Structure 1
Amino acid sequence: MDEPTFLTDTRAGYNTIAIPYDEMFGAETDTKPLTRAMFNAFAEIVAENGPVIEVGSGPGRVTAYLDGLGLDIRGIDLSPEMVALARRNFPKLRFEEGTMTALDLADGTLAGLVAWYSIIHVPPALLPEVFAEFRRVLAPGGHLLLGFQVGDEAMHRTEAFGLTFSLVFQRLMPERIEELLAEAGFVVDARLVRQPDEGEKVAQAHLLAHKPA
């Protein structure tokens, strides 16, 4: 079966920009207090409940931050270059290749799942399938944390850092994501929408939800 184009393009794009991306965005968890607040709340809720994964873990910064809060967490990313970079950045942590559309995990095995600015590369029509996959791998009572840019348009980037690639970034409306999560069987616990920080063009949304016990 042929791989969907968005997966192929996303993998190739991040393989191309892995190092400069890490250099530009690596300190996000250190500089955005509202982001840290959501991570800290998520960690407090799921701590000691079982394993956690970050899907779309990139260079590993978020996985490492949550590990520092005491979570049993590992990262999964589509891009082998990002996985290699994360392993170099954080050699004591676990990072593997994989895709959020088909997680190599048994049903109901996770206490938590983080998708931090990674669902933005999924075509909106396929988000119900992705959220169903998230629900499948979470244990009853398990929690999901999402981060994404607010909006309803897609941006196609073909150049950055002096490099050429093809990446689509989909901005998403929090209300619509809440609807899709509810349809997938999640209960939304909290929504944080913050105004653009320096270097950002649009508002940013963070959603915390859980799979009912």
Structure 2
Amino acid sequence: MTDTATRTAYDAVATLYADMFRDVLDGLPLDRGMITGFAELVPPGPVADLGCGPGHLTAVLHSLGLDASGLDLSPAMIARARADHPHLRFDEGTMTALDVPDGGLAGILAWYSFIHMEPADLPAVLAEFHRVLAPGGHLLLAFQSTDGTETEAFDHKVALAYRWPIDALADLTRRAGLTEVARFLRRPTEIERFPAGNLLVRKP
């Protein structure tokens, strides 16, 4: 899916999305644990929440002691994030071309934010993540997963998205020069349709 289509789709639901997902981690202790572990492993330095939406997880990262900022395609999402979290920095932009110097980030959180990309475009995005991560920097990915071996498109409520087999995604991160630290796969909750996957990798 193109950046323009994704931006338009999320602009249209920014207020509803922000209200629905404000406390999303409250009922997901295992997901919360992955984010906490990521925060403890990240070395000192800036951390970017890419595809931050209304900034709720950027604020969580900040509360865990990280120098966190957010980036999102959607101007409406960024406006909401700035209104809800005025003490944090939020910028409009795309993760495909980050305005960050080489090695400028200690960590990246991409929490269900790359799922709308065409699978063929993800290797270039992971290469960009590798570029901006400092040696020892960590990347935490969250995504809808599948029990199969192939990437599958699905009817996400906002825009077309893709489910990833965790092995396939891990292989792409390895090809991008990143080293796997941990993986996590849980069954869907009663309000989810698909398994939830997390993949934590680091730049050597």
Q: TM-score, normalised by structure 1?
A: 0.91
> In the alignment, which of 144, 157, 181 is matched to residue 189 of structure 1?
181
- Name stretches of at least 5 consecutive residues in structure 2 with no aligned partner: none
Runs of 4+ aligned structure 1 residues displaced above 6 Å come to: none
User: Which residues of 2 match residues 155-174 of structure 1 at below 5 A?
Assistant: 155-156=154-155, 167-174=159-166
Could you tell me which residue of structure 2 aligns to residue 77 of structure 1? 72
> Could you give the per-residue CA deviations for residues 138-177 of structure 1, whole angstroms, max 9, x where no partner exists?
00111000000012321245xx6xxxxx711111111000
* Structure-2 residue corresponding to 1:163: none
Of residues 190, 193, 211 in structure 1, which corresponds to 2:203?
A: 211
Shift of 1:198: 2.5
Matched residue, 1:18: 14
1:199 aligns to what? 191
CA contact (8 A) 1:29 1:65 kept: no
Deviation at 1:182, TM superposition (A): 0.3
**Displacement after TM superposition at 1:6 (Å):** 1.1
Work out the CA distance in 2 between the residues paired with 1:112 and 1:20.
29
Deviation, 1:56, is 0.1
Query: What's the % identity of the aligned pairs?
Result: 50
User: 20, 28, 32: which one pairs with 2:28?
Assistant: 32
- In the alignment, what sits opposite 1:55? 50
Shifted more, 9-18 versus 19-28: the winner is 19-28
Q: Tell me the alpha carbon deviations over residues 116-149 of structure 1, each in whole angstroms, 9 at most, x when there is no partner.
A: 0011011000110000000000001110000000
Structure 1 position 23, deviation (Å): 1.6
Measure how far apart 1:24 and its partner are. 1.6
SS at match of 1:103: coil
Partners in 1 of 2:134 and 2:68 — Cα distance? 15
Deviation track 1:33-56 (CA, whole Å, cap 9, x = no partner) reads 001100110111115x11100100
Q: Say yes or no: does 1:46 pair with 2:42.
A: yes
Q: Tell me which amino acid in the other structure corresponds to 1:184.
A: A
* Two-structure CA RMSD over aligned residues (Å): 1.2
- Aligned length, in residue pairs: 200
* Distance in structure 2 (CA, Å) of the matches to 1:30 and 1:67: 17
Question: 1:58 Cα deviation (Å)?
Answer: 0.2
